[in-house]
Structure 1
Amino acid sequence: MIEATIATLSDRGFSRTTLTEVARRAGLSHGLVLFHFQSKDNLLSETLDYLSEEYRTNWQAALAEAGPAPEAQLAAIVKADFSPTVCTPDRLSSWCAFWGESQSRPLYQARCGANDAHYNQTLEEICARMNAQYGYASDPRRTARLIRIMTEGVWLDMMTLVEPYPVQEAMDTVFAGLSALYPRHFGPVPAAQGTTP
């Protein structure tokens, strides 16, 4: 039912998602969906919890595997945002549905605020370590914000363009931004190969 909700949010947006459409996509009766969730608000809350936990688990697993070097951790956390687990058209559209509808903002803040704060703090700490270990002088809070904005902006770009570019191009775009922030650690993407450092 959650996957059916994600697909419905992607196609119809927040306000036009209905229990009836979710039930149809899931191949279930409206009554069964209503029995499990009692209301559209509950279904959307559970879906947002699912997406938020999926996202948190994804980036934390990538970070745990990256090792202690801050540049490796930074690369891992950015690459995690483009993994097939979280970077799919339906998931990106669902996130945007929650971000974009004014009526969903209180729900988003209540359900995702703590996870977002933890992500932001982690990113700031990595940026501070880049300064301490390698002599960069940028403000870690602002640098972390720029990295987050680059990723979220590329996500939006991937969804709204008539001919969206592939995930690899999206990730390479963010790494091009990283190369501007940390030029000694993230070089420009080679034009011929289009590969990420």
Structure 2
Amino acid sequence: MRDEDEDVAPLPISSERSGRGLDRTASREVRRRQLIESTVAEIAENGLSGLKISGVAQRAKLATGMVNFHFVSKAQLLDATLDYLSEEYRLCWRHAIDNAGAAPAARLRAMMMADLDPQVCTRRRIAVWHAFYGEARARPAFLARCAQREAEHHAELVGLCAAVIEAGGGTAMEMAAERAASGLSALTDGIWLGLLFSPGRIDREPGRQTIDSFLAAVFPRAFSGK
């Protein structure tokens, strides 16, 4: 399965030195990232059960021993891959919120639209997320990592929904914000699933329109002009 958006560079998860070329430490980080990206591609194509260290090495154009040098086991490689994707996703929506200004409605919309950012919304990455979630119940380490990511994301989403309610002059009832956040999360989950199984090149625009329509329906005062 070839991802049409695979040429999109992933968000950096660590800073790298500039102006002096790569030193040994930076080269190690770059090599690890290369292997993780190869792991992402292998999982997207073959699933977690079909993942082989030799396949990761071949895709990265490295010797199998190089994979074992950076990751002592397949389990460690999978944990590192999940952590990498989690941090990439967290940086994406955090960056979107931070650059949306002070208005609660703008910040909420930015957080929602981050789910359709080309950095994180590709068929390859969505496929890998679904692969990990499918294994989460059977693997406690995956479940813990997924739960931590979800908790932070959901808490931020609830807080922004409450802020929009408050800004609209209403009472910021916790349950109202909780229900709105749960509905928004379910919406983007469904959009991702639809994109995963859609034929041809991923078209994110219908998803953006759906998010805007949902926001206007739930918060008409704040989003009626969208």
TM-score, scaled relative to structure 1: 0.87
Q: Which residue does the alignment assign to 2:20?
A: none
Contact 2:136/2:143, CA 8 A, preserved across alignment: no
Q: Give the Cα separation in 2 of the matches to 1:88 and 1:158.
A: 8
Tell me which of 129, 143, 146 is aligned to 1:95.
129
Q: Which amino acid aligns with 1:168?
A: E
Q: Which amino acid aligns with 1:130?
A: V
Contact 2:40/2:125, CA 8 A, preserved across alignment: yes
1:38 aligns with 2:75: no
What pairs up with 1:1-197 in 2 under 5 angstroms?
1-102=35-136, 105-135=139-169, 139-162=176-199, 166-187=203-224, 197=226
Cα shift at 1:102 = 4.9
Q: Give the Cα separation in 1 of the matches to 2:201 and 2:194.
A: 7
Number of aligned residue pairs = 189
Contact 2:122/2:202, CA 8 A, preserved across alignment: no
Cα shift at 1:165 = 5.2
Cα shift at 1:105 = 4.9
For structure 2, the 5+ residue unaligned runs are 1-34
TM-score, scaled relative to structure 2: 0.77
Q: Give the Cα separation in 1 of the matches to 2:182 and 2:170.
A: 16
Considering Cα pairs closer than 8 Å and 6+ residues apart, tell me whether 1 or 2 has the greater RCO: 2
For structure 1, the 5+ residue unaligned runs are 189-196
* Residue identity (%): 39
Contact 2:100/2:107, CA 8 A, preserved across alignment: yes
